[in-house]
Amino acid sequence: MNSRSVPILLLVVALALTSIPAAAANTLQVARAHRGASPFTVRGPKAIPSGNTVGTNSDIFTCQVGLTPPFVCYDPYQMRHAYKIDTLINAGFTGKGKTIVVVDAFQSPNIVDQLNVFDETFDLPGLNGLGAPRDPSLGTFKQIAPDGLTDFDSNDGNMINWAGEISLDVEWAHAIAPGANITLVLAKTNDDADILSATQYAVDHNLGDVISQSFGENESCVDSNLLTAQHKLFVKATLKHITLIASSGDDGAAQATCDGTSFVRAASSPASDPLVTAVGGTELHAADYCLLVLGCDPTANPAPGTYQGEIVWNEEDLGFGATGGGFSVLYRAPFYQLGSVPFRKGRGVPDVAYDAAVAHGVLTYLDIPGIDPGIYLFGGTSAGSPQWAGIVAIAGQKAKRSLGFINGTLYLFSAFPKAYSALFNDVTSGDNSILEEDADGKPVLIRGFNAGTKWDATTGLGSPKADQVVNFLTLFTSDSDAHQAMNNSGPSGSRRSGHHRVRNH
């Protein structure tokens, strides 16, 4: 049986925009297949109308001004401000000259139009390759399907959800690093082998400086030969100074069993590979827009996006999932986690974190056959991988080189309180325990891990203070870390053979 990754668009909340047709409350048909890698973007697939734009502000939504509880939402400017990315962009560091590779499956047929509308909606610089005359000051968007492009079927829920994953990944990589090139590499299907083939093409052809992977599956369910081939490919990428980023998952400490009938406590691949930077999820609390038309005085309130704290992402009570995290049974604890991670034999996941809460999600434009076009609210660890890739692209521009392996630097200063607090927001509240249902509808409680000081198996080291993260990556990322990480870093072997499918996170 072929193993495939299935997109899991975390929640998609439809929002009406005056200049865009209102999105109806269509239900996304998501195949919750538990075989192979799946996109980590929608779990408990829903599209719920969540508000209109505010007054004459055609680009500010009711969820950005506190009018749609429990849902709040963030645009690119709020996210940049919350994580201190805006200071980098204002200084001219936009990722220019660097390329973010986004690996996904199938296609999003209208991705060019979607990017154009997203840019227009949020007043972002465009990209070459979207239909306008070439502008040398802009980055370039490319789309490559090395093994052929699969025809899009609007009746296939799996394809629809991968299309949503693509939209989220591409739009938000661009939102964080607006000057970077973006190359979308599409696997023919979400079979593990097809995903690996697409990634292989990106590495072999040196398509970019950083690769974002918003998908995954139970590491023990990956065919042992394929897992070995994947790790060898990651070694090759690391030797080429390509940074590898992956989402840690949306089912808390749980992963589906290999037969898809239940859940167990497990880590997700490819995030569990020690050469990958694994991104977990938080619930970000950041300032709303304050509008005089609503009786709010902007001079007496924090700027939109001002950081107000984070907790572990766990929206099990809303049915939206929780941050992936735990310990690998296939990869040994890497050198860079010694002293930072509680004593375990296995590699700890995640390394870092980013906003993933659905009820505190990011605004994304969708125009996918089978779904009404409009602005949607997205959550899931999928949102973090492309945005961390954007931060890496910005760091690469500042460093004037491709950074490659970054985990050694991220962990380097965790033992020094002042340096650590300069780099990360420490998330100390919450857990990633989760209640799932097996194939018979019976509850399965997977007890996860609690947040704590510094590294933990829910949010890793924490979320970025990007201005300092970029400075440290620029100054301290080294080849010696990469070579040390590659030594004896391979998997001990997965528990089954055969073909699987990747779930998008």
Q: What is the pLDDT of residues 244-292, one digit of tens each?
A: 999 999 999 999 999 989 999 999 999 999 999 999 999 999 999 999 9
Cβ density class 402-433: b for 16+ within 10 Å, e for less: bbbbbbbbbbbbbeeeeebeebbbbbbebbbb
pLDDT band at 182 (very low <50, low <70, confident <90, very high): very high
C-alpha dihedral, 60 to 124 to 389 to 423, nearest 10°: -70
Give CA 49 to chain center in angstroms: 24
In the predicted structure, residue 298 carries a pLDDT above the cut 80: yes
For residue 69, is the peptide bond before it cis, meaning its omega torsion is within 30 degrees of 0? Answer: no
Q: What is the pLDDT of residue 205?
A: 99
d(CA 157, CA 161): 6
CB 61, CB 288: distance < 8 Å: no
Instruction: Give residues with Cβ within 8 angstroms of 77, minimum separation 6.
Output: 86, 122, 304, 305
Picking from 22, 8, 68, the residue whose alpha carbon sits closest to that of residue 359 is: 68
Residue of 243 and 28 predicted with greater confidence: 243
Under DSSP, is residue 475 helix (H, G, I), strand (E, B) or coil? helix
Say which amino acid occupies 434: I
Q: How far apart are CA 451 and CA 424, in angstroms?
A: 14
Phi, psi angles (nearest 5°) of residue 409: -70, -40
The answer to whether 59 and 39 have CB atoms below 8 angstroms apart is no
Helix (H) or strand (E) holding 76: helix 76-82
Provide the pLDDT for residue 492: 79
10-504: CATH superfamily: Peptidase S8/S53 domain (3.40.50.200)
Q: Decide if pLDDT at 20 tops 60.
A: no
Task: Identify the band that residue 344 occupies on the pLDDT scale cut at 50, 70 and 90.
Answer: confident
Is 179:125 a contact under the CB 8 Å cutoff?
Answer: yes
Residue corresponding to tokens 């749980």: 254
| 424 beta partners | 464
Kindly report, residue by residue over 56-88, the tens digit of the pLDDT: 445 789 899 988 888 999 999 999 999 999 999
Report how far residue 337's alpha carbon sits from residue 390's, in angstroms, rounded to the nearest whole number: 24
Question: If you average pLDDT over each of 88-97, 129-138, 332-341, which comes out highest?
Answer: 88-97
Poorest-pLDDT segment among 92-96, 157-161, 194-198, 449-453: 157-161
The total number of residues shown for the chain amounts to 505
Residue 398 scores a pLDDT above 90: yes
What does pLDDT average to over the chain? 88
Q: pLDDT digit string (tens) for 208-236? A: 999 999 999 999 999 999 999 999 999 99
* Both tokens assigned to 458: 């829910």
**Rounded Cα–Cα distance for residues 382 and 403 (Å):** 22
Whether the Cβ atoms of residue 427 and residue 455 lie closer than 8 Å to each other: no
Measure the N-to-C terminal CA separation of the chain; round to a whole number of Å.
22
Which pLDDT belongs to residue 40?
Answer: 59
CA-nearest of 102, 202, 215 to 147 is: 202
Element (H, E) at 376: strand 374-378
Contact residues for 52 (Cβ-Cβ < 8 A; gap 6+): 15, 16, 17, 18, 22, 61, 62
What's the whole-model pTM score? 0.92
pLDDT score of 336: 95
Bridge-based pairing state of the strands 434-437 and 443-446: antiparallel
Its sign, for the CA torsion 154, 157, 158, 164, is positive
250 touches 10 (CB < 8 A): yes
Cβ(237)–Cβ(205) below 8 Å: no
Phi-psi region of 267 (alpha: psi -120 to 50; beta: other; left: phi over 0): beta
